[in-house]
Every structure is written in C-alpha cells, then in structure tokens.
Amino acid sequence: MMNLLKEAMAEGRATLSEFDSKRFLSFFGIPVCREVLAENPDSAAAEARKIGYPVVLKACGADLAHKTEVGGIALNLKNIRDVRKEGLRLMKIQGCEALLVQEMVKGTRELVCGLTRDPQLGPCVMFGLGGVFTEVLDDVAFRMVPLTPGDAREMIGEIRARKILDPFRGEAAIDQEILGHVLVSLGRIGLEYENVAAIDINPLKVRPDGKPVAVDALVVLRKE
C-alpha cells in the first residue's frame, strides 16, 4: 500500500482515485462494495453483466474528487444499453481516466466516516450521519487517535440520530462490531501513514442485513 501512495505522490497527485482509495482502505479490512475498473463502455457493459444488474457507473480519475458536481455518477443502470450509453457520456468528462462499475448496494441508511488532521490535535477520526444529510444536519462525533474499540463504541453512540443504529424499516440493526473496526482502522491509518492528509468515506451504506460497506471513498494526500 505504501507503493500506491508513493506512486501517486511521485506523480504529483493530490488524491487517490476512488478505485485506489478503496483498494487502500480494504487493505485495513474496511469493507468496500464490489466494483471493477473498465477501460471503455464496452468493457464496462461486460463487467456489469458479471456483477449483476442493477449497477452504478462512475467516471474515475485521480482528479475527479467531486464526481456529483460534474455529473460523473449514473445510478440504477439495468441493462447493457444503459451502461454503454452512460459510459460514453462519462468518458467525455474532463479528468475521466476509466469507468468504475459497482454493485448497486441496497439499504436505506447512510453513514459517514473519515480521518482529518487538526493543526493542534493531530489526526482525528470522524463518524456521523452520511449521504445528503452530512452537511445539512451536521450530526457527527470526533475522537483523537489512537482509537480503541471502546472509543469507537462511544463515538457511535454520541450522534443524535443514534436510533438509526437499531432495526430500521424492516432492516437489521447495524453491525456495530464492523462499524467500530472501520473507525479504529481509520485511526490506525492516521498514525501509520503520515502522507495521508484526510479520508472521506461517504456514504458508508448499510445493507439490509446490517453490514456497513463503503460505496464511495476518497483518500487525500499531504503535500510534500
């Protein structure tokens, strides 16, 4: 994983691509959604068939940190024709280097997790309500690292919307052991990888069985 960071920094990149960000996070046991990188719309269609419809298609590149703002995401694609059509559109977006084909993760709950570096406190882990509500509701908790499993449990219970952790609309309670592992792992990265300036996992989507999985992630690199 150090090679992944070194190569990106040697190329002068400010971030890892979404695909590489998730590769990095999965090395620490953070669960990520099933996805494949495709070079063109035809190969994306072939990969979508292997994953199984519906799928999500995204423009992928190290300079595409905010894909939503440039229309770089196509959701709930249900057939080869739609994948090819959206693939052609996404490839025209400036900074698109490849197409990211992802499973369409089911579930209604979305969380956010992250790593920041405070000038005074150093690396800190963040957890809260995710998706479109992250900035609107600002329901988050922070902890300095190192982070213990106990610290993680306390953080999880601090958000105002903590009832979302319980069984919800026919879906199982969120697996807090997995969620705690995600937070502890982010703290570990903050301590061991000084070249990582920040990490944003949003959303960390919760499957109907209660298992959280990162469906979007960004690793920001420190400037040398």
Which CATH number do you get for residue 78? 3.30.1490.20
Q: Are residues 113 and 198 in the same domain?
A: yes
pLDDT over 70 at 2, yes or no:
no
Using CA atoms of 120, 201, 89, 43 in order, give the dihedral in degrees to the nearest 10: 130
Q: Are residues 142 and 187 in the same domain?
A: yes
Domain end, chosen from 56, 87, 103, is at: 103
Domain end, chosen from 58, 79, 103, is at: 103
Regarding predicted confidence, which is higher, 135 or 211? 211
**Per-residue pLDDT band at 213 (split at 50, 70, 90):** very high
Report residue 82 CA to chain centroid gap. Answer: 24
Q: Are residues 113 and 97 in the same domain?
A: no
Q: Are residues 42 and 91 in the same domain?
A: yes
What pLDDT is stored for residue 63 in this prediction? 82
Q: Are residues 119 and 208 in the same domain?
A: yes
Listed residue (164, 201, 166, 168) closest to 185, CA to CA: 201
Report residue 183 CA to chain centroid gap. Answer: 13
Predicted structure pTM score:
0.94
Percent of the chain exceeding pLDDT 90 equals 81
Residue range of the domain that includes 86: 35-103
- 13-47 pLDDT, tens digit each: 899 999 999 999 999 999 999 999 999 999 999 99
- Return all residues near 198 (Cβ < 8 A) that are at least 6 apart: 114, 115, 116, 117, 219, 220
What pLDDT is stored for residue 106 in this prediction? 95
- 81-123 pLDDT, tens digit each: 999 999 999 999 999 999 999 999 999 999 999 999 999 999 9
Contact indicator for 175, 211 with CB cutoff of 8 Å: yes
Q: Are residues 126 and 198 in the same domain?
A: yes
Domain end, chosen from 84, 103, 122, is at: 103
What pLDDT is stored for residue 9 in this prediction? 86
Coil, strand or helix at 7: helix
Q: Are residues 159 and 197 in the same domain?
A: yes
Q: Are residues 214 and 130 in the same domain?
A: yes
Count of structural domains within the chain: 2
pLDDT over 70 at 206, yes or no:
yes
State mean pLDDT over 140-150.
95
- 42-74 pLDDT, tens digit each: 999 999 999 999 999 999 988 887 788 889 999
Q: Are residues 136 and 179 in the same domain?
A: yes
Q: Are residues 158 and 201 in the same domain?
A: yes
**Per-residue pLDDT band at 1 (split at 50, 70, 90):** low
State mean pLDDT over 211-217.
97
Q: Are residues 18 and 67 in the same domain?
A: no
Average confidence score pLDDT of the chain: 93
Query: The CATH number of the domain where 159 resides is what?
Result: 3.30.470.20
First to last CA, the chain: 18
